[in-house]
Amino acid sequence: MVTAVIIGAGHRALTYASFAETNPDRLRIVGMADLIPLRREQTAKRFSIPEDRCFDSVEQLAAVPKFADCAINGTMDHQHVATTLPLLEAGYDVLLEKPFATNEDEMWSLASAASRLDRKVMICHVLRYAPFYYAIKERVAAGAIGQVINVQTIEHVSYHHMAVGFVRGKWNSRSRCHSTMLMAKCCHDLDLIAWMKAGVPPKAVSSFGTNTYFREEKAPEGAGERCLVDCAIESECDYSARKHYIDHPDRWSFYVWDSLEHLESPSIEDKITSLKGDNLYGRCVWKCDNDVVDHQSVAIEFEDGATATHNLVGGTARPSRAIHLVGTHGEIQGVFEDARFVVRHIDPRPGKEYAEEVVDLKAGGDMHGAFGGHGGGDERLVADFVDLVEGGAPSLACTRIQDSIAGHLIGFSADRAMEDRRVIELSGLR
């Protein structure tokens, strides 16, 4: 039985902690720290945490004698390092949400502390654990396509996800959350690229991107400041807060209705009143205080001469992640949401061009519904972390902090390259 404390009882930490509810013989939540009294109360009730094990801050929790094996840290991006360092000093191993740092100095500081104190710090790159990506990595590791010489990944962020997270919401401004959109949203994808090239450090990075669409000058004629207050085109607008959050009341409920947490079951009228008031999610998407990109392209060169690209595009009709690996002896290509990929090899026989193996991980249905959050990655990641804390050997997917540095370094460098319009030469991993 591994015991854990929760740091920051938000959506991601509680998602990981729910492993204790589905696997009570493997994990038990025995303490927590959160600034918000209501969340402390709700989390304590949910996991039967005694009152003397609920704290206002991580500093308070770390100041008492260690009473759990590990911590699940789901605080906001810019709080990750500051809240993890006291835990490491107090003796806790940590499961830490990504990105684990918001700049290179923080990154090296936390990695150094984990090494110095000999603590297990695992970063929540959950897509490594999704059956789709794990099956692809198994084939790459087995040499099925030879040396990987090119990696292409894309992430299309749906219009409603873009609006809730990166235009109206928590990650819409670097000055507020301290992470760029690339690092907040595509840290997974950059990690996947680094994972597919494991053991080969990135050498150089360039990038271009901007915010093209979600700007005040792009607002349609008649658009107001708040969708449900003064907008003449609300009924026909694809980004209407009513259409996103009232017609779909549960899709982004954890973010949109956090101001109504004090109500056990807020009504539709409560929610409409909130959107008409000071709720950030009631704002016009063209008249917010967002300053992050809505699209960005990244190009990477590796030490062995391999190259990679990642394309982030926000505001698409369908959310989608895709990957295409080209190796010296074959290629792998697939779409995450389809839970299906193909492995191709050259076939020069008469009448042939290539041979293709189709790997279908499920027959129809919804990827998330079939496998759980992040295509099954969430639960598998926590299970692997529990194994690691118990002394098990790191798995193929395990992302200890040192394994996560390459992807983070690519992301930080890409954002600098975009801002400065230059190629960034990397040296930290050589």
The number of C-alpha atoms within 13 Å of 194 and in the hemisphere containing its C-beta is 26
Does the pLDDT value for residue 115 go beyond 80? yes
Q: Which fold has domain 127-214+291-374+398-425?
A: Dihydrodipicolinate Reductase; domain 2 (3.30.360)
Pairing of strands 2-7, 424-425: unpaired
Number of helices and strands in the chain (H, E): 17, 15
Does the pLDDT value for residue 377 go beyond 90? no
Q: Which fold has domain 2-123?
A: Rossmann fold (3.40.50)
**Cβ 429 vs Cβ 410: under 8 Å:** no
Q: Which of 20 and 374 is assigned the larger pLDDT? A: 20
- Structure confidence at residue 367 (pLDDT): 42
307 by DSSP, 3-state: which?
Answer: strand
Residues 414-421 have a mean pLDDT of 97
Domains of the chain, by residue range, sit at: 2-123, 127-214+291-374+398-425, 216-282
- Distance CA(143)–CA(266), nearest Å, equals 54
Lowest model confidence (mean pLDDT) among 231-240, 284-293, 375-384: 375-384
Does the pLDDT value for residue 151 go beyond 80? yes
- Structure confidence at residue 365 (pLDDT): 39
What does the pLDDT look like over 381-404, one tens digit per residue?
Answer: 999 999 999 999 999 999 999 999
What does the pLDDT look like over 158-201, one tens digit per residue?
Answer: 999 999 999 999 999 998 889 999 999 999 999 999 999 999 99
What does the pLDDT look like over 288-305, one tens digit per residue?
Answer: 999 999 999 999 999 999
| Residue 246 DSSP class | I
Does the pLDDT value for residue 366 go beyond 80? no
Cis status of the peptide bond prior to 99, with omega within 30 of 0: yes
Which residue reads 């895709």 in tokens? 322
CA 210 to chain centre: 21
Does the pLDDT value for residue 374 go beyond 70? no
Does the pLDDT value for residue 331 go beyond 80? yes
Q: Which of 349 and 427 is assigned the larger pLDDT? A: 349
Residues comprising the chain, all counted:
430
Other Cβ atoms less than 10 A from the Cβ of 96: the count is 28
127-214+291-374+398-425 shares the fold of 2-123: no
- Distance CA(30)–CA(40), nearest Å, equals 13
Q: What is the largest CA-CA distance in the chain?
A: 75
